């Protein structure tokens, strides 16, 4: 099956889809990474072989003294021992049957000239042994459907691949997506990227059938042209959302002491991202939220947004946000307006944005959603519920009404919710999200996400015609 | 005590500090506003007199047939009956002892020419009787320390006053602040503002000793000059944060069908806000978060921000955000740098932003916080915790370390936290917030709030010199 995939896919695949994994540096000490990694590995269904010189059993599992003692050939070795031992381990990795190793250990080029030399030695040893490596100085690799080869939390299963130049920030994104119940397909932290690099992982994610959207945190790259080509190829197949660190002069200086990257000219980078057909996220929070919308909803055919609310104020704010972000607020078809007038309260505003007013409940949300999704002037729909409780109605009923409306039309237009009111709005919000309608706490964030998927839809069209 | 306050304070105060309240339109029907309002009123300690023609007892409380039957004089009457009955009620309100009425009922000028006439009748009747009114068509008034005269939720006690031209959006803010445990002093929804207007409430909040910060949602006003003067006076005494609806052309059209306001030229409005010494909030979410920072922390003396993180990436993002928002990232004193070098890991970055790296725990957070707050080059501090778990440490320990650092210095510099990692970060975040250190989920939002209090500090200085 994977034979039709490019070489790099097959080169990288064992990092994500191993059947037997050895961990060199397994530990009983909860302060050691080798303890966290083993805990994570043992929660998967694949075969795990911990290696340690100091214990016979760890976490109830048999421990081997060295890679050579493992009875079966392994296809991936994870290494979490002192840096100085790593180069010599490469030959053993190969002897144990593996051509792939994740080197979690730090203490390489990130520490200075001595570490740089050690990293060179590691690379040479790996090449000589015929072993591809991810790392060193990384958080590791996880595949939410198979195993967690990191010292951070396992993500929820889903369709968004995470590629972060900052391992910790990548780990943070896993925690955040778990709290928000957003699913991740695969996570890669490549650390110093001594062998497998950013572009290799990107190419892998492009070819990965489980990945629908790619989220990237990047500070800088050595080979901009190669990255550009890779982004351009990948963005034609799936949306790529990029958050760039080091945009400011001060931030750029900081990236040098962080990943050692030259952040480069921001405007040049922004231009490259757009030319490559990718969209950029302005903040960490929005990076995840934009990816969620790409994952859950189809792309719009144009930039016309329909807005429904039960209070004028929130409709006004969404209209302001959408307009400022390049979306258009179209007039509705006269037939839509006529039908809305029949259904809604005389107090309602039936222009766009539509205000069904506080008395508008499940029925009004259903019918208005239906009518707007059926209107040829509307390319996408943003539905707000801002009145917390009214006359015994709850925001869950409004959400149910909206959902009924979306289902009865079966349109291919993207739809998002903005369920305001804190904890009181949560059940309604959860109902929508469980049905893959992204639901936001703020009209601006919802509009921002809509504007980003619209931008991508246009970039794709341009691609198609170029 | 209040005799030294301006007349408008005394005119408005009984709306917020009544001792005996009558409710005309109390109802047993949970779909009626008169039911929700009564429930809210009964949860306060003040005397409540429900009025209804159709029940003897509601919610266990004795009901009176009319205002004239109440045995004691009341000082506030809340009205939630059909619009048509409202004008005639004004004389009865006065006879019952009250010079103040909140008219919740809708069906006035917001509905068209007939409603407009009815509103005129209401105003004339009120004036004739000597009754000041809030409303009609409003959510009501609440004072978190005394009573809830609305049909929405009671806010938590605190120091932020909410003034919203959109009642529903105001109600939404109450729900949101409750979920975020942010305290509110008073809430006012003035609806059609037939008598008591925006500026009256603003003047009241300016003079209210319980209010430290004023949050405003506004779409447009009739008398811009009067508003400007009032904002200018108030902003010299306490910070005012304004969210303007109807910024875009399409949004401006929508405000006309909502509050009937002409949104006006946005740039003119923005200039006015700044001239008046107020700060503007770009989004609904940030409106509340900016107010929280004003409430919890002192103002900075300058625009230099110190940034601490345990992962380079998050420090870079905060640096980018702070720079883009007009804050400066200063170099540290050489003594600070020297001491940091002694305390932190050799892997740490000791420039600004500081990266204490993943191994930095409670001690490193404490000492780094202390040193930066003591550095004369630093006017404010942003502390990030992004590594979710490491070597048995939790983000709560990092928060405790930061808190210890803040306490040991006793500085008057503002401090915020950015505790990333979703649910895992929540205990640390809660610890900081309980100690009145605002804690955010995103470095950008934290930087935005810092930039806004800095802007206000500069505006105040300008005021002082003008």
Position with higher pLDDT, B250 vs A88: A88
Q: Which of B29, B155, B172 to mutate to test the interface with A (most CBs of A within 10 A)?
A: B172
* Chain B residue whose CA is closest to A115: B347
* Chain B residue whose CA is closest to A326: B248
pLDDT at A358: 87
Tens digits of per-residue pLDDT, A319-356?
A: 999 999 999 999 999 999 999 999 999 889 999 999 99
pLDDT at B207: 96
Q: How confident is the model at residue A222 (pLDDT cuts 50, 70, 90)?
A: confident
Q: What percent of chain A has pLDDT over 90?
A: 79
Tens digits of per-residue pLDDT, A231-264?
A: 999 999 999 999 999 888 888 777 776 666 655 6
Q: How confident is the model at residue A3 (pLDDT cuts 50, 70, 90)?
A: very low
Distance CA A187, CA A214 (A): 10
Mean pLDDT score of chain B, rounded to an integer? Answer: 92
Task: Assess whether pLDDT exceeds 90 at residue A31.
Answer: no
Q: Give the sign of the dihedral formed by CA A314, CA A316, CA A319, CA A324.
A: negative
Structure tokens at A292: 């969620």
pLDDT at B1: 42
Q: How far is CA A396 from the centre of its chain?
A: 28
Task: Assess whether pLDDT exceeds 60 at residue B262.
Answer: no
A312/B259 touch (CB, cutoff 8 Å), yes or no: yes
Tens digits of per-residue pLDDT, B355-393?
A: 999 889 999 999 999 999 999 999 999 999 998 777 777
Spell out which residues of chain A touch residue B175, defining contact as CB-CB under 8 Å.
388, 420-425
Provide the Cα torsion A181, A186, A187, A190; round to 10°.
-170
Spell out which residues of chain A touch residue B284, defining contact as CB-CB under 8 Å.
314, 317, 420, 442-444
pLDDT at A269: 83
pLDDT at A253: 79
* Chain A residue whose CA is closest to B356: A258
B30/A248 touch (CB, cutoff 8 Å), yes or no: no
Q: Which of B191, B250, B287, B425 to mutate to test the interface with A (most CBs of A within 10 A)?
A: B250
pLDDT at B453: 98
Tens digits of per-residue pLDDT, A56-71?
A: 898 889 999 999 999 9
Distance CA A225, CA A232 (A): 11
Spell out which residues of chain B touch residue A321, defining contact as CB-CB under 8 Å.
283
Nearest to B316 among A219, A425, A441 (CB): A219
Spell out which residues of chain A touch residue B331, defining contact as CB-CB under 8 Å.
none
Distance CA A350, CA B219 (A): 19
Distance CA A392, CA A396 (A): 11
Q: How far is A177 from chain B (nearest CA, A)?
A: 7
Mean pLDDT for the stretch of residues B106-116: 92
Distance CA A309, CA A356 (A): 6
Task: Assess whether pLDDT exceeds 90 at residue B270.
Answer: no
Q: Are B98 and B129 in contact (CB under 8 A)?
A: no
pLDDT at B260: 61
Q: How confident is the model at residue B109 (pLDDT cuts 50, 70, 90)?
A: very high
Buried b vs exposed e over B369-408: b needs ≥16 C-beta within 10 Å?
bbbbbbbeebbbbbbbbbbbbbbebbbbbbbbbbbbbbee
Q: How far is CA A406 from the centre of its chain?
A: 26
Position with higher pLDDT, B344 vs A2: B344
pLDDT at A264: 62
Q: How far is B397 from chain A (nearest CA, A)?
A: 15
Q: How confident is the model at residue A265 (pLDDT cuts 50, 70, 90)?
A: confident
Structural domains for chain B: 2-141 (3.40.50.720), 154-296 (3.40.50.261), 305-465 (3.40.50.261)
Task: Assess whether pLDDT exceeds 70 at residue B263.
Answer: no
Q: What percent of chain B has pLDDT over 90?
A: 79
Mean pLDDT for the stretch of residues B166-187: 93
Q: What is the pTM of this model?
A: 0.93
Mean pLDDT for the stretch of residues B185-202: 95
DSSP string of A190-248?
A: -TT-SSS-HHHHHHHHHH-TT-SEEEEEES--S-HHHHHHHHHHHHTTS-EEEEES--S
Q: What percent of chain B has pLDDT over 70?
A: 97
pLDDT at B258: 65
Spell out which residues of chain B touch residue A387, defining contact as CB-CB under 8 Å.
168, 171-172
Nearest to B255 among A316, A421, A443 (CB): A316
Task: Assess whether pLDDT exceeds 50 at residue B432.
Answer: yes
Q: Residues with Cβ < 8 Å from A7, sequence gap 6 or more?
A: none
Mean pLDDT for the stretch of residues B429-450: 96
Mean pLDDT for the stretch of residues B118-142: 97
């Amino acid at each position: 099956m994977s034979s039709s995939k490019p070489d790099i896919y097959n080169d990288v695949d064992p990092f994500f889809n191993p059947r037997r994994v050895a961990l060199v540096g397994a530990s009983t000490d909860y302060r050691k990474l080798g303890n966290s990694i083993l805990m994570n590995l043992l929660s998967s269904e694949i075969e795990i072989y911990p290696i340690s010189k100091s214990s016979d059993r760890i976490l109830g599992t048999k421990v081997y003294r060295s890679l050579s003692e493992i009875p079966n050939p392994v296809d991936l070795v994870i290494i979490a021992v002192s840096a100085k031992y790593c180069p010599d381990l490469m030959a053993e990795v190969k002897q144990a049957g593996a051509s792939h190793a994740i080197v979690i250990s730090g203490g390489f080029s990130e520490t200075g000239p001595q570490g740089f030399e050690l990293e060179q030695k590691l690379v040479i040893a790996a090449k000589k042994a015929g072993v591809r490596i991810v790392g060193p100085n990384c958080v590791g690799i996880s595949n939410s459907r198979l195993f967690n080869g990191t010292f951070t939390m396992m993500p929820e299963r889903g369709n968004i691949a995470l590629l972060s130049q900052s391992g910790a920030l990548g780990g943070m994104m896993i925690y955040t997506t778990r709290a928000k119940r957003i699913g991740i397909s695969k996570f890669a932290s490549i650390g110093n990227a001594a062998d497998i690099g950013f572009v290799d992982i990107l190419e892998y994610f492009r070819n990965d059938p489980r990945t629908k959207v790619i989220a990237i945190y990047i500070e800088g790259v050595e080979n901009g042209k190669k990255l550009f080509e890779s982004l351009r190829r990948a963005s034609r197949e799936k949306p790529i959302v990029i958050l760039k660190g080091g945009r400011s002069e001060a931030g750029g200086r900081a990236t040098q002491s962080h990943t050692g990257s030259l952040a480069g000219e921001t405007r040049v980078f922004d231009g490259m991202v757009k030319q490559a057909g990718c969209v950029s996220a302005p903040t960490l929070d929005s990076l995840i939220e934009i990816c969620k919308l790409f994952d859950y909803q189809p792309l719009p055919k144009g930039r016309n947004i329909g807005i429904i609310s039960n209070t004028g104020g929130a409709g006004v704010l969404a209209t302001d946000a959408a307009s400022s972000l390049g979306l258009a607020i179209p007039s509705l078809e006269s037939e839509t307006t006529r039908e809305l007038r029949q259904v809604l309260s005389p107090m309602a505003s039936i222009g766009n944005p539509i205000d069904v007013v506080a008395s508008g409940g499940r029925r009004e949300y259903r019918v208005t959603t239906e009518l707007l999704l059926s209107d040829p002037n509307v390319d996408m729909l943003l539905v707000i519920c801002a009145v917390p409780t009214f006359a015994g109605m709850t925001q869950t009923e409004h959400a149910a009404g909206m959902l009924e409306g979306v289902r009865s039309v079966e349109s291919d237009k993207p739809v998002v919710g903005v369920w305001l009111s804190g904890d009181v709005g949560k059940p309604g919000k959860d109902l929508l999200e469980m049905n893959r309608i992204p639901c936001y706490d703020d009209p601006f964030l919802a509009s921002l996400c809509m504007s980003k998927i619209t931008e991508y839809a246009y970039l794709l069209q341009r691609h198609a015609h170029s």
